Amino acid sequence: MAEAEVGDDVFGDDPTVNRLQERAAEVTDKEAALYTVTGTMANQTALRTFVRHGHEVVAEATAHVITVEKNSAASLSGITYRPVPGERGVMEPGQIAEALRPDPLDVRVVDLVAVENTHQVGGGAILPLETLQGIRRVTREAGLPLYMDGARIWNAAVASGVPVRDYAAEVDALMFCFSKGLGAPIGSILCGPAAFITEARRNRLQLTGAWRQAGVIAAAALVALEEGPKRLHEDHHNARRLAEGVAEVVPGGLKPEDVETNIVFVDPTPLGMTATEAADRLRGEGVLVTIVAGKVRMLTHVDVSTSDVETAIEAWRRIASEA
């Protein structure tokens, strides 16, 4: 990062940012890419580019674009949603076909279908390639674009053995994050057709996300992109071990076999605790967790070692024995 060659990305002449965008386009097999400061900004830039003000997006009810971003989409771009309930975040093609049935009054119009892979609230569940292909058939028939929030698409690819470019081939555009499992401090990227990315670039500026010598952090993203995927299987292994260890001390609190990638959700109610109480007690044991969808959420990543996982299991064991 200290040695990164930089320019001014507003003028499109930061060589490190350009290298990152070219590399991301290459690995996803899309024509172009746009580096953004956050995953949320990549999603909001994509939605604003695909969807007309006042029109709707079909997405899974617990998707990040709805749960966390619906106010951003509404206030920044006049976008609302048509939510579809999924099974651990995965929507079936038939559900989407149903959701796309035209409004008899012709008042509500859908401009986009969005999927999330892996699905965060779904516990890091992978959207199977065949399901995505089925969804693609439905959107094609409806003449609609398909977008993928692939914040953790590299986890999906490593766990399933399906290359990122094969998932990407089924959608018009996708974003992924460098700042999650791949291990960079900051940054996400939106990948898609050249004309779409040109328009997205204008929209990123409107969303106040145009930046100058971003090459300093793009250098870290380049390392994350090359090195990060090589070690994600370790995170998945650690997550499964964490799930198995916690399941022993919180019977009924989770199903370890549901842990496909790097996210572990625990329902602590079998211990007679709310998620907030469990999180507070774990913090007292030196283990930091977040609360998502009313459950305790733990993630494994580059900074969580195998021995950290054992420490976390021991912390759960202590709070369970005191419950």
Ligand X SMILES: Cc1ncc(COP(=O)(O)O)c(C=O)c1O
38 vs 178, 196, 207, 259, 263, CA distance in Å? 9, 19, 12, 26, 20
Applying CB under 6 A, among 156, 164, 177, 273 the residue interacting with ligand X is: 177
Nearer to ligand X, 64 or 201 (CB): 64
Nearer to ligand X, 115 or 249 (CB): 115
> What is the nearest approach in angstroms of ligand X to the Cβ of residue 10?
21
Binding-site size for ligand X (CB under 6 A) equals: 12
171 vs 33, 76, 168, 201, 234, CA distance in Å? 14, 24, 5, 19, 28
Binding mask 182-201 for ligand X (x = CB under 6 A): ------x-------------
204 binds ligand X (CB under 6 A): no
Binding mask 85-104 for ligand X (x = CB under 6 A): --------------------
72 binds ligand X (CB under 6 A): no
64 binds ligand X (CB under 6 A): yes
> What is the nearest approach in angstroms of ligand X to the Cβ of residue 272?
29
CB of 182 closer than 8 Å to CB of 224: yes
168 binds ligand X (CB under 6 A): no
262 binds ligand X (CB under 6 A): no
161 vs 115, 130, 155, 229, CA distance in Å? 19, 13, 10, 12
Contacts of residue 321, defined as CB under 8 A and 6 or more positions apart, other chains included, come to: none
40 binds ligand X (CB under 6 A): yes
> What is the nearest approach in angstroms of ligand X to the Cβ of residue 309?
21
Nearer to ligand X, 21 or 247 (CB): 21
Nearest to 109 by CA among 47, 148, 58, 65: 58
- Using only C-alpha atoms, what is the Rg of the chain? 20
> What is the nearest approach in angstroms of ligand X to the Cβ of residue 120?
4
116 binds ligand X (CB under 6 A): yes
34 vs 41, 72, 212, 290, CA distance in Å? 11, 20, 14, 30
191 vs 32, 33, 152, 164, 244, CA distance in Å? 6, 4, 14, 12, 36
Q: List residues binding ligand X (CB under 6 A).
A: 38-40, 43, 64, 116, 120, 149, 151, 177, 179, 188
